Structure 1
Amino acid sequence: MLFRNRFLLLLALAALLALLSLSLQFFHLIPVSVAKNGASSKSRKRIMPDPVTEPPGMDPVYEALLYCNIPSVAERSMEGHAPHHFKLVSVHVFIRHGDRYPLYVIPKTKRPEIDCTLVADRKPYHPKLEAFIRHMSKGSGASFESPLHSLPLFPNHPLCEMGELTQTGVVQHLQNGQLLRDIYLKKHKLLPADWSPDQLYLETTGKSRTLQSGLALLYGFLPDFDWRKVYFRHQPSALFCSGSCSCPARNHYLEREQRRQYLLRLRSGPLERAYGDMARILDVPTKQLRAANPIDALLCHFCHNLSFPCARGGCIGMDHFRAIKAHQMEDERERRERKLYRGYALLGAHPLLNQTVGRLLRAAEGRREGAFALYSAHDVTLSPLLSALGLVEARFPRFAARLVLELWQDREGPGGHAVRVLYDGADVTRHTAFCQDGRGRWPTPMCPLDNLVRFVRRDMLEALGPGGGSTSYYEACHRKGL
């Protein structure tokens, strides 16, 4: 009997491992368009690794795979978790757009052939994709702040245009929206069934990929929403700084940070050798290759499981990709140590955080507007926010990254409100700069709203000013002697 039980256990384990192996094959391989000569791109050599567990050290290929954020069946998240006596009042969501086509072209190579039309039965798949396409087709008369009304509401080119959202990017945010719907609407009833337009705040930059990402998340969150109740505001700046974008001190910090990056590149022998070898393969000057920002295009090949490009001198390989990605990781490590970026982040993120605090305070007073706010943005939006909040160990914003601020009311303490901060589903509240007391981290799972208000309206400015610190954002931006 004991032998039989062991045999059955081993048989079950073998079946489980076989299922896991098959799942990895299907979940990590994304079909791409058919090549012009009629041969399927799937016949080419695949480059996507299949990591089952996170490697013990910082591995460049694994980090790149996390950056791709390939849509999966389910994702664990901590959004909406709170003690039973807390009531959810307001949610602010800051997202990076989903997977996109590259912004740069590698010299003397063919553009990666990726189809940016949406096909409901093509991987990556989402059950709401076909309904999303139909709903977007009905939205031409929707209300968008100029110039958003001139942008397409979903990607629709057989060969992607530069920077265009892909089907992968749409599915990523449909998943984000559905996840948030299950938590905030079905569980916490954040919005009533007859929600009004003032309970929804939507803002995006003027790029099609951010508008389309915002619409995909919104559709996952509110399927078949009434177009008459939706209004997307346009934000001209990637920092969402509105009328507070003029800030000489912020630009000064950015210049110093860019200088640090430049000097680090000069000191990196592996990076220089990788660029030199790639330039030889492509038969172009090394300076021209650097200017083409090859990592942007290589990440597209990697995330879509396409072979790296070739030229008459050979092919770019995984070793080149690994060297460039490893340098990016080294750059992020040095950035944390040198802290020049911190000054830029505090000034760059302050206008958006200050606006957010204002909305949270109004929600705490019981006003209806802005129960759910969505800001559809870029990596250069989320990175300063993460740094300004003190989340310096956070990974660089992946495709479809989400940063969430939740406002809760403590029903056992009248008038008491608290906040939670989550990044890609992980609760990072107690790692933020404002969630500290004199002995270290705040002792409860949430932080008082007053902590965040004080941090944004006082502590962020004091951290920037010489001597006694600045008393206003204008003063911090225009101070002398930097």
Structure 2
Amino acid sequence: MFVNGSVLTSVQMFIRHGDRTPTSAIEADANVTWDCDGLGSYIYTSVENRVGQENSIKLQNAVARQTIVSPGKSPFSRYNWKGSCSPGQLTPLGAQQHRTLGSILREIYINRWKFLPTEFDPSTLYVRSTDFWRTQQSAESLVTGLYLPQVTEGRPPIFHMEVVPSSVDYMTVNRNLCPKARDLESAIKGGANYQRVHSNSNTLTREVRDIMGRHSNLLDTVLPRLCHKMEPYCEEGKSGRCITPAMSDLVVTKSSLETSILYRDAPQSRQYLRLGMGPLAKEIVDNFVTASQRTTLSRRSSSNVPQFKLYSGHDGTIGPLLGLLESTDLRWPPYASNLIFELWTAPSGERFVRIFQNGNIMQTTTKWCNLEWCPISQFVANMEKYIPQDILDECETEY
């Protein structure tokens, strides 16, 4: 259990992007409107700065925007919706989800624990995102909530975000560069449990596909409309044949069952996660080891190692991490899902890890550790099971 007098040493947070538009449009979207005019998800240090006319860097406070002009300027407009959102873009609701989450973090890590400074200091915050607009906007929105718009005289602080190209990223399972992971995933999806999920939902999902013109990704297409309480998709020319709430619920339930099998419950899941999440598991461990080496109980390190590390990704980031940690709650991760890893230093000098899943201490199926106060040695031992010695060699090994 938590030891009084302990000092918060390091925090790593993983988020899924917020609410977004469908990742692609189909013909049935032609009369739907998705507006992103009020998104307001810009880097906070560039939005509300106030500098005098005499300041020579005034133009550095300009904000760049891009404008979506669909559907009017394309002859293919019937295959897209109306409004100012592009496919897969964060919506104003998604931005607000993360601004709200950021404000909650402010109460915890700034006001309560005094862990972060009250005003933005780039040296204390590391931000990393996948190479997608919606994940980058989600990270910006969260930081906007964490650090409210500030009046800055002179040169404003720089908000820096690292992005790894998708082709070589490791915040999701990189099936293209790891053939063995791809083979393992195929084996899991071909297994009896995974196929049973398909068989039990086959009739309804086939009907959903028929209504939507056999669009392949039902979750990414159905869920956004469901979340925004829009009119249901109906088969073209047949207004009475539409996707019902029961069908939408089935799509989400089916995805949750598939998520738990793929990332936790299949015989191949452990090996699949080792290859798919190994590099990220290593980064999490290395971050805590570095923080432990450079921080003492009496004084936080003056080095440039950020105290708070934020990673903005996808359901394909959160889901595998939940599986790796053996969470009891491995439903399909909803928008703005988050995992927080905290490293604490007790008065004795011992290190402990706490892990929160969407605001609650994570519970595990095997109870490998009490994640309310887990000795760092046990945490590292569990993570090391998923860290390959040579990821490239293991990825090429025949399955």
Note the C-alpha offset of 1:355.
1.2
For 1:344-359, list aligned pairs within 5 A. 344-359=272-287
Note the C-alpha offset of 1:229.
3.5
2:149 to 224, 228, 244: 224
1:393 aligns with 2:329: yes
TM-score of the superposed pair, with normalisation by structure 2: 0.77
1:255 aligns with 2:186: yes
Between the aligned partners of 2:119 and 2:194, the Cα distance in structure 1 is: 56
Look up the match of 1:405.
341
SS in 1 for 2:275: helix
SS in 2 for 1:375: strand
Between the aligned partners of 1:141 and 1:253, the Cα distance in structure 2 is: 49
For 1:292-311, list aligned pairs within 5 A. 293-310=217-234, 311=236
- Per-residue CA deviations over 1:83-128 (Å, capped at 9, x if unaligned) read 42211111111101100000133444436312111178xxxxxxx9
SS in 1 for 2:386: helix
1:374 aligns with 2:310: yes
TM-score of the superposed pair, with normalisation by structure 1: 0.65
Look up the match of 1:338.
266
Note the C-alpha offset of 1:211.
0.8
SS in 2 for 1:184: helix
2:116 to 191, 197, 209: 191
Look up the match of 1:134.
47
Asked if 2 retains the 8 angstrom alpha-carbon contact of 1:418 and 1:448, the reply is yes
SS in 2 for 1:89: strand
Between the aligned partners of 1:382 and 1:188, the Cα distance in structure 2 is: 26
Asked if 1 retains the 8 angstrom alpha-carbon contact of 2:22 and 2:221, the reply is yes
Asked if 1 retains the 8 angstrom alpha-carbon contact of 2:194 and 2:261, the reply is no
Asked if 2 retains the 8 angstrom alpha-carbon contact of 1:153 and 1:208, the reply is no
2:38 to 118, 125, 141: 118
Which structure 1 residue ranges, 5 or more long, are not aligned? Answer: 1-80, 121-127, 143-148, 462-469
Asked if 2 retains the 8 angstrom alpha-carbon contact of 1:118 and 1:155, the reply is no
Note the C-alpha offset of 1:140.
9.2
Between the aligned partners of 2:250 and 2:279, the Cα distance in structure 1 is: 37
Asked if 1 retains the 8 angstrom alpha-carbon contact of 2:181 and 2:395, the reply is yes
Between the aligned partners of 1:393 and 1:360, the Cα distance in structure 2 is: 25
Which structure 2 residue ranges, 5 or more long, are not aligned? Answer: 52-57, 71-82, 296-300
Q: 1:243 to 1:112 in 2, by over 3 A?
A: closer
1:236 aligns with 2:161: no
Q: Which has the larger radius of gyration?
A: 1
Give percent identity, aligned residues only: 25
1:419 aligns with 2:353: yes
- Per-residue CA deviations over 1:330-367 (Å, capped at 9, x if unaligned) read 43454444243432222211111211211211111214
2:140 to 206, 215, 221: 215
Name the one with the larger helix percent: 1
Asked if 2 retains the 8 angstrom alpha-carbon contact of 1:88 and 1:190, the reply is yes
Once the two structures are overlaid, the 10-residue window that deviates more, 90-99 or 262-271, is 262-271
Asked if 2 retains the 8 angstrom alpha-carbon contact of 1:88 and 1:407, the reply is yes
Between the aligned partners of 1:165 and 1:155, the Cα distance in structure 2 is: 13
1:321 aligns with 2:248: yes
Look up the match of 2:101.
176
Q: 1:274 to 1:358 in 2, by over 3 A?
A: closer
Between the aligned partners of 2:49 and 2:189, the Cα distance in structure 1 is: 40
SS in 2 for 1:400: coil
Between the aligned partners of 1:448 and 1:431, the Cα distance in structure 2 is: 16
Note the C-alpha offset of 1:316.
2.5
Q: 1:191 to 1:99 in 2, by over 3 A?
A: same
Look up the match of 2:76.
none
Counterpart residue identity of residue 116, structure 1: C
Look up the match of 2:4.
84
Between the aligned partners of 1:243 and 1:312, the Cα distance in structure 2 is: 41
